[in-house]
Structure 1
Amino acid sequence: MSAESDPAGAVRTGRRPTVVEVAARAGVSTASVSRVLNGKLARPDTMDRVRAAVIELGYRPDATGRALKLGAAQQIAFAVDDLANPVYTEMMRGVEEGLTSTGARLLVTSTGQDPADTLALVRSLGRGYADGLVISPLRRTPALVRALVECPVPVVIVGDPGATDALDRVRVDSGAGIRLAYRHLLDTGRRRICFVNGPEQTSPGAARGSAHRRCAAEWGGSAGTVSVDAFTVEAGEHAWLQVCLLEPDALIAANDLLALGAIRAAEAAGIRVPHDLAVVGVDDIPFARIFSPALTSVSLRARERGRLAAELLLQRMSDPARPAVTVSVEPELLVRESSWRR
């Protein structure tokens, strides 16, 4: 039987590799392989050899078979950093839609701001916590990427997993969304555009901050950038203390929560939106449409990304040996009251 390698270097033979083959490749017993895959204690060198063999062979446990043996439906984990952010609620609804009629249970978890907690969650999946994972991490570390690649259950990432082509993912070019917002504000006559960013070490913070700098270099009109330590309404209100010093006539926020906080603080200071200050957010959360003034926002199609991620996961569970797939969705600018032309 011929074999080929996928982008991650895993050997594919057209059939599912077995635990026995993993043990033979690693030079350990099948019991040792089982211990590592189930997250139990093992010697460090044994763990490294088993994980390397798992990657080389492209081994994935049969989640469907395990569920049948346990007499239970498949359990799919959905993990995000902060469930208080409405964008993840929309994404979760999309995952639910993608799992409709499968009988799968959705387990929802919030990992918090610490990357170590996200890493611990991924490593716990070998203990039967879930049969598959949809994850949207804000902070990406080499250790997390490695754990996701080595995860004993199928994984789909919503976002950018970093320098690996070994994982299924659903992505959106949020930088292109910033360009839509910036061009819109210039077209409405604004000439001093401030960008309010969240933590720049996060994936969205880095991508959206970089896009704003490119827009400023290409088109001009930037009043500067203000960065805060969270993507929350409170952080947006706090950002206004620095934004007002730049005297902008327009503001792009890295997400809608920051935009809503900035509007609250600006109007409390007597600044009228959009007459004195146009504001654009990113994410198009449901509250953006009913806020006053209704918030112009770049939709990153969170619900659609969740649905696509669930569909990719089901495909991976039914065909573990297929090459990794990346699905992209396009951002869309939705113009509302907060950025009307003056």
Structure 2
Amino acid sequence: MSGPSRPTIYAVAKVAGVSISSVSRALNGNTSNLDMVARVKAAAEQVGYVPSAVAQSLTTQQTGQVAFAMEDIGNAAYLAMVREIQPRLREVGYRLLLHATGADVQDEIEVVESLAQKYVDGLILCPIRVTSRHIAALRDPAVPVVVIGQLPDEVAVDNVRTDSRLGARLAVEHLHAGGARRIAFVNGPADTIPGQARYAGYQDGLRTCGLGLDDTLVEFADFQVGAGRDAAARLLARSDLDAIFGANDLIALGAMHALRSAGRSIPDDVQVVGMDDTTLAETSFPPLTSVSLGSRERGRIAADMLLGRLRAEANVPQRVTVAPSLTVRESTREVTG
């Protein structure tokens, strides 16, 4: 047995005492007759009429939706961005759609190319690899796009980035100032932009502190807790170390698990520093010293950039860099002098 039929525009027109075309103009904001608009809206509420989002998007060429495509929705760094992006969009009537790419290049390319289907009005994209295919897809996107992360200068889209190379150097210098001399590094994949930048920053920090690069103190893994734990266990099995720098907080937390399993005290035996300064760093035991890359600020700036594009306020591509900073907690020793 079928349920009650959904109220139609015909019912609204009958109650309001106007034509169907007048109802359409009133609901789509295409009339200056305020009295008619009020009558139509009152009639729509009376009969319980809800305009079709699909029909409205065909009329206005707008969906009222923005997509945010990132590697991993569960990563606290991306969640921090979402907490800034979503409220700013909601304030002006946009709905935020989330999509996890799993850092799959093909998926990211398809997300950009499918913008031609106009399922959203704009896209915020956060890739950890940027290939020639990304550059080609971003050359002429169908709707405004903002990229969070490093982009080549020739890519003419708005871009908010951070300096994770400098952040990695800050981490190493802090560990050295706390007495560490055998500073291990657990990185993410070497073929990613953050992996390359953080490895370069680790080496910068070693040079600044007068320490040589020891390959036995370096592990490349994935940006996940389990990968960090396993990589730290391998380091402990083969190397004498007194500090571990994890390329993100998840890796660092995994390293802390491995240290506890091995009976090593943090920070007395081994100091640990992470990167991203997520809520996980605050709630770990002991609380994790971490380099902030301004995830919330990058999310806020990206949202503002996109809204500016949607309002046609900007002409040339914008580039903004958020500086890193160190948040010292109990996983490292107090620096004196």
TM-score normalised by the chain length of structure 2: 0.78
Q: In 2, Cα distance between the equivalents of 1:246 and 1:320?
A: 55
Q: In 2, Cα distance between the equivalents of 1:253 and 1:259?
A: 4
Q: In 1, Cα distance between the equivalents of 2:120 and 2:138?
A: 14
Q: CA deviation at 1:91?
A: 0.9
Does residue 227 (structure 1) correspond to residue 228 (structure 2)? The answer is: no
Match of 1:109, as an amino acid? Answer: H
Does residue 122 (structure 1) correspond to residue 112 (structure 2)? The answer is: yes
Q: In 2, Cα distance between the equivalents of 1:323 and 1:261?
A: 42
Q: 2:180, 2:243 within 8 Å by CA — same for their partners in 1?
A: yes
Match of 1:317 in 2: 310
Cα deviations across residues 233-266 of structure 1 (Å, max 9, x unaligned)? Answer: 0000110132112211111110000000011011
Q: 1:189, 1:341 within 8 Å by CA — same for their partners in 2?
A: no
Match of 1:305, as an amino acid? Answer: R
Q: CA deviation at 1:321?
A: 6.1
Q: In 1, Cα distance between the equivalents of 2:88 and 2:127?
A: 20
Match of 1:329, as an amino acid? Answer: V
RMSD of aligned alpha carbons: 1.8
Match of 1:93, as an amino acid? Answer: R
SS in 2 for 1:99: helix
Match of 2:77 in 1: 87
Which runs of 5 or more residues in structure 1 are unaligned? 1-65
Match of 2:233 in 1: 241
Q: In 1, Cα distance between the equivalents of 2:306 and 2:249?
A: 28
SS in 2 for 1:328: strand
Alignment of 1:22-33 (within 5 A): none
Q: 1:91, 1:305 within 8 Å by CA — same for their partners in 2?
A: yes
Match of 1:181, as an amino acid? Answer: A
Q: Structure 1 residues 182, 174: closer, same or farther in 2, change over 3 A?
A: same
Match of 2:162 in 1: 172
Alignment of 1:91-110 (within 5 A): 91-110=81-100
Match of 1:172, as an amino acid? Answer: T
Does residue 149 (structure 1) correspond to residue 130 (structure 2)? The answer is: no
Q: In 2, Cα distance between the equivalents of 1:227 and 1:266?
A: 15
Match of 2:291 in 1: 298
Cα deviations across residues 156-213 of structure 1 (Å, max 9, x unaligned)? Answer: 0111123424110111101111111111111111111111101011110010011111
Q: Which protein has greater RCO, CA pairs closer than 8 Å, 6+ apart?
A: 1
1:140 aligns with one of 130, 133, 148: 130
SS in 1 for 2:68: strand
Match of 1:215 in 2: 205
Q: In 2, Cα distance between the equivalents of 1:218 and 1:249?
A: 18
Q: 2:189, 2:195 within 8 Å by CA — same for their partners in 1?
A: yes
SS in 1 for 2:138: helix
Q: CA deviation at 1:226?
A: 2.6
Match of 1:266 in 2: 259
Q: In 2, Cα distance between the equivalents of 1:218 and 1:187?
A: 11
Which runs of 5 or more residues in structure 2 are unaligned? 1-55
Q: 2:86, 2:95 within 8 Å by CA — same for their partners in 1?
A: no
Match of 1:32 in 2: none
Q: 2:66, 2:94 within 8 Å by CA — same for their partners in 1?
A: yes
Q: In 2, Cα distance between the equivalents of 1:112 and 1:131?
A: 23
Match of 1:277, as an amino acid? Answer: V
Match of 1:277 in 2: 270
Identity percentage of aligned residues: 42
Q: CA deviation at 1:218?
A: 3.3
Cα deviations across residues 92-115 of structure 1 (Å, max 9, x unaligned)? Answer: 111113324110010110011321
TM-score normalised by the chain length of structure 1: 0.77
Match of 1:196 in 2: 186
1:185 aligns with one of 151, 156, 175: 175
Match of 2:265, as an amino acid? Answer: R
Q: 1:298, 1:331 within 8 Å by CA — same for their partners in 2?
A: yes
Match of 1:177, as an amino acid? Answer: G
Match of 1:215, as an amino acid? Answer: G
Q: Which moved more, 1:169-178 or 1:314-323?
A: 314-323
Q: In 2, Cα distance between the equivalents of 1:229 and 1:277?
A: 20
Q: 1:83, 1:110 within 8 Å by CA — same for their partners in 2?
A: yes
Cα deviations across residues 1-38 of structure 1 (Å, max 9, x unaligned)? Answer: xxxxxxxxxxxxxxxxxxxxxxxxxxxxxxxxxxxxxx
Match of 1:76 in 2: 66
SS in 2 for 1:153: coil
Q: In 2, Cα distance between the equivalents of 1:164 and 1:114?
A: 23
* Structure 1 stretches of 4+ moved >6 Å: none
Q: In 2, Cα distance between the equivalents of 1:216 and 1:337?
A: 22
Q: How many residues align?
A: 277
Larger Rg: 2
Q: 1:193, 1:248 within 8 Å by CA — same for their partners in 2?
A: yes
